[in-house]
Amino acid sequence: MMWLLAALVLLAGGLAPALLVASRGGAVARLAGLDLAGVVTCLVFLLLAQGLARPSYVDLALVLAPLSVTGVLVFSRLLGRPR
Amino acid sequence: MNAGDLIAAVLLATGVSVVLVSALGLLAGGALFDRLHHLTPVPSVAVPLVVTALALAQDHPGRATVKLVVIGLLLTAAGPVVSMATGRAATRGPGPTDPESR
């Protein structure tokens, strides 16, 4: 129960603000929200895997972690002015 | 509740609190570099705390714990890199693919 409660708190208090930040402001400023959203989503998947006793959900976090990092890096590379 | 569960609960509560404070700081706005400062504790502090709590809660430590540690290390190591790349993009200004430059 503790794990599901933590996942719910992270969804409401972590993911929602991250999506809000990622949906307003300049293009580069939105990257901060996208970065936080990726990390929080990974944590939510891990907590749901523990809370629901579904170990396979950990694989989602294992895939999402490198993909979210790569996504933000690609966006930062494309949005910034090349040297 | 044994000692391991208690430690896991404390680590989990601390990690979730760090995420909440960081998210509130991010919502408070400010310049991009201020936002990046608020963002830094999440991968550097909250992720190790939550992953440690989850690892302590495993009934049969093994492959699942290794997966948790790999995810935690990946996110923790990538956090500063991502912040640096975002700050770098902001310093250079909008590039040709940025909608603001059109």
Distance from the Cα of residue A37 to its chain's centroid:
3
Interchain contact, B98 vs A79, CB within 8 Å: yes
Tokens of A6: 């933590």
Confidence of residue B12 (pLDDT cuts 50, 70, 90): very high
Give the three-class secondary structure for A80.
strand
Residues 17-46 in B contacting A (C-alpha not used; CB under 8 Å) = 19-20, 22-24, 26-27, 32, 35-36, 39, 42-43, 46
What distance in Å separates the CA atoms of residue A44 and residue A11, rounded to the nearest whole number? Answer: 7
% of residues, chain B, pLDDT over 70? 89
Tokens of B46: 């909250």
Q: What is the ipTM of this complex?
A: 0.88
Give the residue-averaged pLDDT of A3-8. Answer: 94
Give the residue-averaged pLDDT of A31-55. Answer: 92
pLDDT of residue B64: 84
pLDDT of residue A83: 58
Tell me the torsion sign for CA atoms A82, A22, B29, A35.
Answer: negative
Interchain contact, A43 vs B70, CB within 8 Å: no
pLDDT of residue A81: 66
Task: Look at the block and give the residue holding tokens 């969804």.
Answer: A11
pLDDT of residue A55: 86
First to last CA, chain A: 51
